[in-house]
Amino acid sequence: MTTNLLSLRVASQHLLAPVGIVLASMALPAIANGFVLFQATQVMVFAVAILGLNLLVGFSGQLSLGHGAFFAIGAYVAAILMGQYDVPYWLALPAAGVVAFVFGLLFGLPALRLEGVYLALATFSLAIATPQILKLSVLTPLTGGSPGIAVSKPQAPLGLPLTDDQWLYYIALCVTGAQYLLARNLVSSRSGLAMLAVKEDPVAAKAMGVNLSVYKTLAFGTSAAFNGIAGALSAMAVQYISPDSFTFYLSASILVGLVVGGVGWLPGAFFGALFVLLVPNLAEGLSKGLSGAVYGAILIALIFFLPSGASTFRSASLLRTRRKP
């Protein structure tokens, strides 16, 4: 009986925070105005992208400086499907994920042979080349070239009394929740363990019968799919995309968010997303012209003083709950 009560209490303690967060985020549109909702949607967009990169870096040990490219693919797929083929948004979102997944697999194949610095170099050049590829004149009928494409915001169905901003916020909330659960389950599944083994010790993993190539490529594809979905959401939120929205700065932001949130800790994605969205604004407030310098300095300071990012606090709280019983 006591053990039952105890486990109930532990369970409630464990559930309290997630349930609270979900309820609070569902209630947010009731109190927040359009701009705050837009910012909150953007936080979720980045959180999904960072979650995806975390699957790659934190769980399969590959480094990517170029995930903005997959983000861009997702955004373009969604914009083109919705704008030119009248595909509804709820189909465009998964389609963006699937296309990004395929591109991720394709890039993951050569990436198999690259390690560490070399993979960083290849993905860095992918990030730099992305805007140019998007501007390619052959693709202009589809992509709209440099001027870009406008995207219409999804509207609430069944005459629900919600503004477009509120409805998009709820879509983003659902997608983010689903992606988070997906990532969590993937990590604790057999495949997730195999990926982790590949990261920790490739030789030992191979000896245990884990197929390195399959899991590394799959990790690349999956993380690209997350970024594609994030890109599609972002296109709907911003309502406009152009090649210059997907510069190296985007890829760098996703990576910075990952480092700030903590590599290998999934909830860190939300802290990382808050950082990459809010700190540049903060830096802008501190000094208009030097915002990039302030941002860079904050980032470097964070790496020096808090090398594992927000996940530092996770281990502290974990120890506390372990010691209690």
Q: Which tokens sit at 69?
A: 């490219």
Q: Which of 137, 159, 320, 325 binds another protein (CB under 8 A)?
A: 137
Beta pairing class for 149-150 and 240-241: antiparallel
Rule CB under 8 A: which of 66-95 touch another protein? Answer: none
Please list, in sequence order, all residues whose beta carbon lies within 8 angstroms of the beta carbon of residue 184, skipping any fewer than 6 positions away. 266
Among 25, 135, 164, 193, binds another protein (CB under 8 A): 135
CB of 146 to another protein, least distance (A): 11
Question: First CA to last CA across the chain, in angstroms?
Answer: 16
Does residue 141 bind another protein (CB under 8 A)?
A: no
Closest CA to 269 of 3, 49, 15: 49
Q: Look at residue 196 and give its three-state secondary structure.
A: helix
Question: What DSSP designation does 149 have?
Answer: E
Determine the interface stretch with another protein among 9-17, 39-47, 114-122, 157-165 (rule: CB under 8 A).
114-122
Is residue 154 within 8 Å of 236, Cβ to Cβ? yes
Contact call for residues 60 and 195 (beta carbons, < 8 A): yes
CB neighbourhood size of 248 (10 A): 18
Please tell me whether residue 110 binds another protein under the rule CB under 8 A. Answer: yes
| Residue position matching structure tokens 């927040």 | 32
Select 81 or 134, whichever has its Cβ closest to another protein. 134
| Binding residue for another protein, selected from 8, 17, 208, 293, defined by CB under 8 A | 293
Question: Could you tell me the smallest distance in angstroms from the CB atom of residue 54 to another protein?
Answer: 11
Question: Which of residues 98 and 133 has its CB atom nearest to another protein in the complex?
Answer: 133
Which positions from 260 through 279 interact with another protein, judged by CB under 8 A? 263
Binding-site ranges for another protein (CB under 8 A): 57, 63, 65, 110, 113-114, 116-118, 120-122, 124-126, 128-129, 132-133, 135-138, 203, 248, 252, 255-256, 258-259, 263, 289-293, 295-297, 299-300, 303-304, 307
